């Protein structure tokens, strides 16, 4: 969802005037918050999920399904119910918030789940309750689906009908396919993002996805566009798209975990990073775009390209910048992509790529007594410019607000996100967000992915296992994860032998009395290429994620109901593992 600040959004030309001010004060805000809450300790495990849904309408007469642009109607009613429940002192079992598109809504549990194993028994049920709450507000022939709609951008894909206006200078997106009416209108953030990404880039985004070839696919596969920009940007044998909505208008499943303290959050961020491409391949559920079958199975490269605001200089297409704001040449990735560095101090050995970061921001953080590893991560995020500036919110109290920091943090859409406690809620601690998982068709499947990942975090923390591989191999794995049939056809770099992480977070009782381990001489020697089946179920050298979870369950105090709940998603395995 991102930061939903109220106010008058500035267009890109006006935003440019405030870039350096926003960045400098954003770092001041982070430093102030960091030192205020870095000593926060012993928060309990809490976690939650976010599921994005698509509202569709069935046209039985014409045998057609369209997206229904009624998200605002549903959200107004759902959020009003939340307010009523709060005023009556009653619990909300679900919370609803807007998303990018006028046909999307985002649902979360009313309160986070706790650390007890019995919480697994209510995850699927809560998803069912959420779905029921929203479904009560649907009109005849409407349905709520946890999918990424495959016909976005096809002719006549919205209800009510809306027509793209690529030649209209007042159009927000000027897309050939995606009308402005399909953008959520209840908050200015979303339309302003579309406008400012296009303004900063100097052109519309260009999304080209390889088309799946069968015997009926023309060779070459090409499309003819009257729009000059589309005609130049579209590649042969690719599905072309030109709007942020083709990425941000897709649905996903995300999970957030609260750690006991800041160091455990950083450690968990690192340990989960190599898991992200594995979960992306496991959950891949988006093979169709603009009603064409693609040669990829995942939304990831599409959403990455849909918000790619890099200028020609930043994409390495020119050697000089003439726009006045491009500072970094040849940035390798979009601002929506995989992370480029680990952030826990002892993970530094695995940071094997050259990291671009803002040196002035880095020095500001170092002078503010932020350690070099976290400082590089923050300074790397700040090579991106803010895309949202609200006129009434430019001048703030940096000791109380984090809006300038969050406007950049929340628009760095990476596979993992490190989240400081919010300044206005003492009940929320240091968190990490796991972002790549694709949403599934059923509540059971979505609950299974959530429980799988929560169990994996408990295995990592309890057994002090390290899954670290060189960060460059995570990037390579993300590329492999989106390929067609990656779940069965691809091999992924993964840690081939289990190892204990002796440098676990400060304050974690499991480290007491244990000597520090020697650093590994060559991280690449500890990796091998494995199939998803081998990573999940094990091979001769690696025990597998599921057997590790089962051993953890066997050693934990798990009641019969919870074990039965989890057993429906995890097959029984013979044998035990010893550490």
**Average confidence (pLDDT) over 88-102:** 96
pLDDT at 514: 37
Residue 238 lies in a domain: no
pLDDT at 299: 98
Residue 532 lies in a domain: yes
**Average confidence (pLDDT) over 542-568:** 86
pLDDT band, very low/low/confident/very high, at 239 (cuts 50, 70, 90): very high
Residue 307 lies in a domain: yes
302 close to 207: Cβ distance less than 8 angstroms: yes
**Average confidence (pLDDT) over 545-571:** 81
Q: What is the pLDDT of residues 282-328, one digit of tens each?
A: 999 999 999 999 999 999 999 999 999 999 999 999 999 999 999 99
Q: What is the pLDDT of residues 319-341, one digit of tens each?
A: 999 999 999 999 999 999 999 99
Residue 410 lies in a domain: yes
306 close to 247: Cβ distance less than 8 angstroms: yes
pLDDT band, very low/low/confident/very high, at 511 (cuts 50, 70, 90): very low
- 23 and 115 assigned to the same domain: yes
**Average confidence (pLDDT) over 439-453:** 97
Residue 1 lies in a domain: no
Residue 166 lies in a domain: no
* Range of the structural domain that residue 103 is part of: 12-155+181-203+249-434
- 471 and 426 assigned to the same domain: no
**Average confidence (pLDDT) over 546-561:** 88
- 124 and 266 assigned to the same domain: yes
pLDDT at 502: 61
- 54 and 189 assigned to the same domain: yes
- 338 and 193 assigned to the same domain: yes
- 97 and 130 assigned to the same domain: yes
Q: What is the pLDDT of residues 151-179, one digit of tens each?
A: 999 999 999 999 999 999 999 999 999 99
pLDDT, the chain, mean: 93
- 318 and 420 assigned to the same domain: yes
Q: Is 324 exposed, middle or buried (0-12, 13-18, 19+ CB in 10 A)?
A: exposed
First to last CA, the chain: 41
51 close to 127: Cβ distance less than 8 angstroms: yes
Whether the predicted pLDDT of 512 surpasses 60: no
**Domain final residue pick, 378, 407, 434:** 434
- 464 and 430 assigned to the same domain: no
For residue 376, which phi and psi values (nearest 5 degrees)? -65, -40
Host H or E run for residue 201: helix 188-201
Q: How many helices (H) and strands (E) would you count in the chain?
A: 19, 17
Percent of the chain with pLDDT over 90: 86
Q: How many domains does the chain have?
A: 2
Q: What is the pLDDT of residues 4-40, one digit of tens each?
A: 567 789 999 999 999 999 999 999 999 999 999 999 9
Whether the predicted pLDDT of 181 surpasses 70: yes
**Domain final residue pick, 403, 434, 465:** 434
For residue 113, which phi and psi values (nearest 5 degrees)? -75, 150
DSSP secondary structure string, 12-80? Answer: HHHHHTTHHHHHHHHHHHHHHHHHHHTT---PPPEEEEEEEEEEEEEETTTTEEEEE--HHHHHHHHHH
pLDDT at 329: 97
- 115 and 49 assigned to the same domain: yes
**Average confidence (pLDDT) over 361-366:** 98
- 409 and 534 assigned to the same domain: no
Whether the predicted pLDDT of 104 surpasses 80: yes
C-alpha to C-alpha distance for 26 and 394, rounded to whole angstroms: 11
**Domain final residue pick, 434, 466, 484:** 434
Whether the predicted pLDDT of 576 surpasses 80: no
pLDDT at 574: 38
- 391 and 460 assigned to the same domain: no
Residue 3 lies in a domain: no
Write the CATH number for 282. Answer: 3.30.590
Whether the predicted pLDDT of 231 surpasses 50: yes
pLDDT band, very low/low/confident/very high, at 430 (cuts 50, 70, 90): very high
Residue 171 lies in a domain: no
- 517 and 413 assigned to the same domain: no
């Amino acid at each position: 969802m991102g930061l939903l600040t109220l106010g008058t959004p500035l267009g890109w030309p006006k935003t440019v005037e405030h870039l350096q001010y926003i960045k400098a004060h954003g770092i001041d805000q982070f430093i102030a918050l960091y030192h205020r809450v870095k000593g926060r300790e012993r928060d309990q495990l809490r976690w939650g999920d976010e599921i994005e849904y698509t509202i569709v309408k069935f046209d039985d007469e014409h045998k057609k399904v369209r997206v229904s642009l009624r998200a605002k109607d549903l959200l107004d009613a759902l959020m009003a119910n939340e307010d009523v429940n709060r005023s009556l002192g009653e619990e909300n079992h679900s919370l609803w918030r807007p998303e990018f598109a006028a046909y999307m809504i985002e649902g979360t549990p009313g309160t986070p789940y706790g650390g007890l194993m019995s919480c697994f028994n209510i995850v699927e049920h809560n998803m069912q309750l959420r779905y029921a709450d929203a479904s009560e507000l649907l009109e005849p022939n409407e349905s709520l689906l946890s999918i990424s709609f495959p016909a976005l951008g096809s002719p006549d894909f919205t209800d009510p009908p809306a027509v793209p206006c690529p030649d209209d200078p007042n159009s927000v997106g000027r897309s050939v396919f995606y009308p402005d009416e399909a953008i959520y209108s209840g908050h200015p953030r979303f339309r302003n993002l579309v406008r400012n990404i296009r303004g900063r880039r100097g052109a519309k985004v260009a999304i080209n996805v390889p088309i799946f070839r069968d015997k009926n696919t023309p060779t070459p596969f090409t499309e003819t566009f009257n729009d000059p920009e589309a005609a130049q940007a579209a590649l042969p044998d690719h599905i072309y798209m030109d709007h942020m909505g083709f990425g941000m208008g897709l649905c996903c499943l995300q999970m957030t975990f609260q750690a006991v303290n800041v160091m455990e959050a950083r450690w968990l961020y690192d340990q989960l990073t190599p898991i992200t491409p594995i979960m992306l391949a496991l959950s891949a559920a988006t093979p169709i775009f603009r009603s064409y079958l693609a040669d990829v199975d995942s939304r990831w490269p599409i959403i990455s390209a849909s918000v790619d605001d890099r200028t020609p200089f930043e994409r390495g297409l020119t050697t000089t910048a003439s726009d006045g704001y491009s500072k970094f040449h040849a940035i390798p990735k979009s601002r929506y992509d995989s992370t480029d560095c680990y952030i826990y101090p002892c993970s530094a050995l695995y940071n094997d790529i050259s990291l671009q970061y803002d040196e002035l921001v880095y020095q500001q953080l170092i002078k503010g007594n932020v350690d070099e590893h976290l400082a590089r991560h923050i300074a790397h995020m700040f090579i991106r410019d803010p895309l949202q500036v609200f006129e009434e919110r430019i001048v703030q109290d940096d000791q109380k607000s984090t809006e300038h920091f969050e406007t950049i943090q929340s628009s760095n859409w990476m596979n993992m996100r490190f989240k400081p406690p919010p300044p206005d809620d003492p009940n929320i601690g240091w968190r990490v967000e796991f972002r790549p998982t694709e949403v599934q068709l059923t509540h059971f499947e979505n609950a299974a992915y959530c429980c799988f990942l929560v169990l994996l975090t408990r295995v990592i923390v309890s057994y002090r296992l390290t899954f670290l591989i060189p960060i460059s191999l995570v990037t390579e794995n993300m590329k492999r994860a989106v390929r067609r049939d990656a779940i069965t056809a691809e091999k992924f770099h993964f840690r081939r032998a289990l190892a204990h992480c002796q440098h676990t977070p400060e304050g974690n009782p499991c480290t007491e009395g244990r000597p520090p381990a020697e650093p590994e001489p060559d991280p690449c020697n500890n990796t091998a290429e494995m199939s998803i089946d081998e990573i999940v179920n094990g091979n001769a050298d690696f025990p597998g994620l599921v057997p590790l979870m089962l051993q953890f369950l066997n050693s934990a105090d798990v009641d019969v109901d919870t074990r039965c709940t989890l057993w429906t998603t995890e097959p029984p395995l013979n044998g035990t593992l010893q550490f």
